[in-house]
Structure 1
Amino acid sequence: MSNLTKEKKYKRIITVLSILIPIAVAALFTINLKNLGFNVEPLTFLPPIYASINGLTAIVLIFAVIAIKKGNKKLHEQLNTFAIGCSLVFLLLYIGYHMTSDSTKFEGEGTIKYVYYFILFTHIILSIVVIPFVLTTYMRAKLGNFPQHKKIAKFTFPLWLYVAITGVIVYIMISPYYV
């Protein structure tokens, strides 16, 4: 199978995942197992864990860029694969928390409230936008299409880094209001 054929196949998969992941997260976010009659303990210990995973993702992404700038393609690939794994673990923990626990409301007042909601809004929107970027960037590298990989990575890296860092900031800002 040629790389062009493989890329077309992967693009279809990326398109499907880029649509299904946000829809699944939104749907699962609205399902609270307690409200459905399941006897589950709220997983209230998860937010600092998944915030830490976001922080780790940001650090790994920075080291991945440093690795490729130093010419270490193997380490660059390993770090980016690990970052994708971290993002997947984050997503599973995030869904687990929201399916077992009531959402926490931000109670800050004044300017900080607007800052929080701006960061939260941009974090949510860009976490959806970044999915096809990450998957396409990764796919192009795996197929050895490095010129196209490099071209899109210039956009993927800052988007993904922003999402990872703002995930930590959102957690820090809302953490005083967790019950």
Structure 2
Amino acid sequence: MTAFSPSGSRRADRRGGFAGAGTSTGVTTGTTGATGTTGATGTTGATGTTGAGETTGWLRQWTGNPELDGDAYRLFGQNGAGGLAAVWYGRPGRPLAEQPVVFMGSEGECGVVAGNLSDFLWMLADGIGPLEAVLYEGHESRPDAALTALAERHATTPRRPARDIITEACTEFPTFAEDIDELCR
């Protein structure tokens, strides 16, 4: 796989870094103990969603912009490095489950990783976590039996390879990372 970071290093420099700050977001408060996929980059844990106040604090901290609010995001997962997965209200008027899933990493990595929650389940089932979706091209399938069973029970979209899910989401929202970069101070 070829590593890349679309605007990630510039974003991290503009924010002065984010490492270590992820533990103060409150994302892990009241977790259910459900875990996600373990891969080369750590664990993505399902933690439930956070309230608007916590999300606002996180977004302000991540961007260094005290003028933002977090109303457009619902955080639901955190990896071992502090990166966060969120549902982004990128499709006005559509239900939560039909909104895109984004990842914002602890070192400035950022991107749309799936077009909706159902596709996110299929991406995880294919062995690709949100950090890998943002950092690498050429996503090789590494199916996970437990996560495949979970997706088979709960996904409402057809099974597809992670690379197709990621490509489709990035094509629909091509400027997400740049738009977030513009919010950074």
Q: TM exceeds 0.5?
A: no
The structure that has the greater radius of gyration is: 1
Higher-strand-fraction structure: 2
Larger relative contact order (CA 8 Å, sep ≥ 6): 1
Question: TM-score normalised to the size of structure 2?
Answer: 0.28
Higher-helix-fraction structure: 1
